[in-house]
Amino acid sequence: MMNRKTWIGRCAGLAFLAGLSALCRAQSLPSPPSERETLEAFLRRADIAAVDKETQAGRMNAWLVTLNDGKTSRRALFKYIRRNRPALMPDSYAYELAAYELDRLLGLELMPATVERSIEGRTGSLQVFFEDAESEKSRLRKNLRPPDPAAYQDRLDEILVLEHLVGAPRQDLGDIIYQTAAWRPWRVDFSEAFPPSGELLSEYALSRCSRRVLAALSTKWDDGAVRKRLKTYLTQAEIEALFKRRLLILNEVKRLVVEKGEAAVLYRP
């Protein structure tokens, strides 16, 4: 007959094994998709409900596409022009996809979700359309002030670093939009990015850099991973120029820290 001590020990052992088994099952379960991953899946798989080829103006003649997956209906911008370099006036959805892949790889989330998709026999970039958004150009014209000006400016400064990295000067402040409810700025339209010249933009000087962006460009950067992710869309010369701009950004941030002090240049997040 089992004595009390043996019985308690056996129960404790069984409880430990059960807990360990539950922990292993929990660790083996896939983590839920992020909001970005959910949007990407929707853009790739949702049915095309309508295509408006006339409403959107702009250089890329984007189509405004309505998508529906049976549960949700959303709109997205579809760009299909692929006029890559060495064209005299390069304008290509491939550069938009390359910019998004880089933004995604670095974990910056400064661009709206964008995927490659074919619509009506054309392949292009499909980017989620924010219904509750206005351009930075419109915000300044209306003299609207964000509820948290410091946080808003922090994100604008992160966008500026991304623009230097991919070599994409703003055509105007219409390239920056913000969600009116969340007051969160995003950068759109990289169809002319990734010049083969490894120089920073002359139009806008860097002055600040968030610590998370600095980490993405330094300790977390992997040349091989970047090259593998972008080789579908960019030439070797365009990728090498990207690598040069990254180093120039790091050197400029270092110079600014020496000149102005770390507190004036680096900020969180």
55: domain CATH number? 3.30.200
Instruction: Say which range, 9-13, 201-205, 252-256, has the weakest mean pLDDT.
Output: 9-13
Are residues 256 and 189 located together in one domain of the fold?
yes
Question: Do 137 and 164 share a domain, yes or no?
Answer: yes
| Whether residue 210 sits in one domain with residue 111 | no
Say if residue 175 is in the same domain as residue 61.
no
Per-residue pLDDT, 26: 38
pLDDT at 148 over 60: yes
Integer Cα distance of 162 and 210 in angstroms: 11
Domain boundary, last residue among 108, 128, 148 = 128
Task: Band the pLDDT of 171: cuts 50, 70, 90.
Answer: confident
Q: How confident is the model at residue 126 (pLDDT cuts 50, 70, 90)?
A: very high
Question: Average pLDDT of 69-83?
Answer: 96
Burial of 104 (0-12, 13-18, 19+ CB in 10 A): middle
Are 109 and 87 within one domain? yes
Q: Which of 103, 128, 153 is the last residue of a domain?
A: 128
Q: Is residue 86 part of a domain?
A: yes
Instruction: Please check whether residue 28 lies inside any domain of the structure.
Output: no
Q: Are residues 139 and 257 in the same domain?
A: yes
Q: What is the pLDDT of residue 101?
A: 98
Assess whether pLDDT exceeds 50 at residue 8: no
Q: 124 with 138, same domain?
A: no
In a domain, 8, yes or no: no
Query: In the chain, pLDDT over 70 holds for what percent of residues?
Result: 87
Q: 34-55: per-residue pLDDT in tens?
A: 889 999 999 999 999 999 998 8
At 58, the pLDDT band (50, 70, 90 cuts) reads: low
Model confidence at 61, in pLDDT bands (50, 70, 90)? confident
Range of the domain at 252: 133-267
Q: Would the pLDDT of 179 be above 60? A: yes
Across residues 26-33, what is the average pLDDT? 55
Residue % of the chain over a pLDDT of 90: 78
2 domain residue, yes or no: no
pLDDT of 14 over the 50 cut: no
Question: Are 220 and 104 found together in one domain?
Answer: no
Q: Please indicate, yes or no, whether residues 84 and 198 belong to a single structural domain of this protein.
A: no
Q: What is the pLDDT of residues 77-103, one digit of tens each?
A: 999 999 999 998 899 999 999 999 999
pLDDT score of 27: 46
Q: Which has more pLDDT, 245 or 17?
A: 245
With a cut of 80, say whether residue 19 has pLDDT above it: no
Q: Which H/E stretch holds residue 24? A: helix 4-28
Query: Within 13 Å and on the Cβ side, how many CA atoms surround 145?
Result: 4
pLDDT for 6 beyond 60: no
Domain assignment of residue 249, yes or no: yes
- Residue 109: inside a domain: yes
Confidence class for position 195, pLDDT limits 50, 70, 90: very high
Q: What share of the chain is helix, strand, coil (3-state, %, to 5)?
A: 45, 20, 35
- Looking at residue 7, what is its pLDDT? 45
The Cα 50–Cα 83 span in angstroms is 26
Helix axes 93-106, 223-230, angle to 10 degrees: 150
167 by Cβ neighbours in 10 Å (0-12 / 13-18 / 19+) ranks as buried
**Domain boundary residue among 128, 144, 171?**
128
Tell me whether residue 5 is in a domain: no
How is residue 107 written in tokens? 């974990």
d(CA 12, CA 9): 5
Give dist(CA 240, CA 243) in Å, integer.
5
Mean pLDDT in residue range 264-268: 96
- pLDDT for position 107: 96
pLDDT at 25 over 50: no
- Domain count along the chain: 2
Nearest Cα residue to 43 out of 82, 84, 100, 106: 100
Q: Does 234 lie in the same domain as 120?
A: no
Whether residue 87 is found in the same domain as residue 146? no
Q: Are 182 and 121 contained in the same domain? A: no
Is residue 61 situated within a structural domain? yes
